[in-house]
Structure 1
Amino acid sequence: MATIFVREMPVDERPSTRLKHLGAGFLSNAELLSLLIKDTSTTSGYEVAQELLREANGLAGLRDINLESFPGIGKGKSLELLALLELAKRLGQQNRNIKIITCPEDAADYAASRLKYENREHFCIILLNVKNHILSWETISIGSLDASVVHPREVFRPAIIKGAASIILVHNHPSGDPTPSKEDLEVTARMVQVGKIMNISVLDHIIIGGDSFVSMKEKGAIK
């Protein structure tokens, strides 16, 4: 199949023209990426963008790809793409700058912007005051979730230091499936028990999986 260079497309079909006249919302992910990757003398920016999205299984997977070694990208362009991905992540965090938690959806929305694109499990906590205003977000551990990794002293130390009245446990499932595992249930039960002893309530344990989440409180795992 012949290579389709962007520069050889009809002018009104080129991503740059469509962006100018229609707006970014009307362009596909491949078209938007092609504006960054661009044609070279031997490769089509649009075709490289399509292949990159296929390999990454969508935009969310771009952070997991070795961009520098991907055909048609190279070192310079990979750095630009990584910078863009990080900016997009930070923008998402700002757009979800929730100050108070009123329901599991608030906690999940606050956490998802920070965790949904991570390719390793992150166990974090949201610290709250007596009126459920957010005091801070703390990362406790990165890696597989089990009782040996997530120790109560590491979880409750930030809460004690910052005078939190309660906490919400949060972690992500990189697989995209937020269904609680046996380890998730065990860790939740252990933290709730310790929280009662320390008089720091564990209000919920939110598991983020892609665009969905599970609230352990809603599942009945936290009474």
Structure 2
Amino acid sequence: MTVPPGSSSTAAGTPHYFGHRERLRDRFRMAGGDSLADYELLELILFRAIPRRDVKPLAKALLVRFGSFAEVVAARPERLKEIEGMSDAAIIEVKIIQQAAKRFAKSSLDKRRSLTSFSAVLDYCRTAMAFLDREEFRILFLDKKNVLIADEVQSVGTVDHAPVYPREVMRRALELNATAMILVHNHPSGDPSPSGPDIQLTQEIVALGKSLNVAVHDHLIIGRDGFASFKGLQLI
């Protein structure tokens, strides 16, 4: 057997990481994911895409670059590509995990049910947006029974700005026959405190919505360190 460059092997000629992979899988099976460190969970994700290499150094390098497991999973593909050893296949495996997490969180926002659970909405928005490195403006469009009609990203911007136009927001609401909405955007800085422009934009959308009988139930700002609710802050 030829050992890949940079890998050590056992006396029998088998790369050392073969046994490590099985031991890690066994720990996951027996004790669950909570028993694993972040880098070990990343190793499990990378195993499928990189079958013939020790991926522990790569997993640790990802954490050093991005800071946490969640931030690795949320990182844009082009940023993951900057890490030596991250192949296209490995990036796909990471992004599958991100999409799975989003869909799991979104399952509580079933279109057949009214969005009466604030915690379910918040959990979904945090999963989808808390660790993004660019600002994203999302709208949850609702019908008169507060049933979710559509969940749409209206714009993606820079690290501190995503362009949003109130008339375009209302035009889309009317196209969907929505009678209410929840506005959501993230602050990549981590601090969810509303800025002056955030407050002004919200007031403009609320005012335009009133003239068209479209209610704005809330505007949530999602950050790594928490969230802010315009309704909770009595800004709506």
Where do 5+ consecutive residues of structure 1 fail to align? none
TM-score, length basis structure 2: 0.76
> Does 1:181 find its partner at 2:195?
yes
1:68 to 77, 81, 101: 81
1:20 to 25, 29, 32: 29
Contact kept, 8 Å, 2:217 with 2:231, in 1: the verdict is yes
Q: Deviations over 1:123-148 (max 9, x none)?
A: 122222222222221222221577x9
Contact kept, 8 Å, 2:71 with 2:132, in 1: the verdict is no
Partner of 2:152: 138
Q: How does 1:36-55 map to 2 (within 5 A)?
A: 36-38=45-47, 44-55=54-65
Letter in 1 for 2:66: A
2:125 to 90, 102, 111: 111
Structural RMSD (CA): 3.2
For residue 188 of structure 1, report the CA deviation from its aligned partner.
0.8
Letter in 2 for 1:49: A
Contact kept, 8 Å, 2:142 with 2:150, in 1: the verdict is yes
Q: Which moved more, 1:54-63 or 1:92-101?
A: 92-101
> Does 1:200 find its partner at 2:210?
no
Partners in 2 of 1:12 and 1:149 — Cα distance? 46
Alpha-carbon distance change, 51 to 212 in structure 1, aligned in 2, over 3 angstroms:
same
Partners in 2 of 1:60 and 1:12 — Cα distance? 22
Alpha-carbon distance change, 44 to 196 in structure 1, aligned in 2, over 3 angstroms:
same
Partner of 2:136: 122
For residue 55 of structure 1, report the CA deviation from its aligned partner.
1.4
Alpha-carbon distance change, 12 to 115 in structure 1, aligned in 2, over 3 angstroms:
closer
For residue 216 of structure 1, report the CA deviation from its aligned partner.
0.4
Contact kept, 8 Å, 1:37 with 1:73, in 2: the verdict is no
- Secondary structure of 1:14's aligned partner: helix
> Percent same amino acid among aligned pairs?
32
Between Structure 1 and Structure 2, how many residues are aligned? 219
Partners in 2 of 1:164 and 1:90 — Cα distance? 23
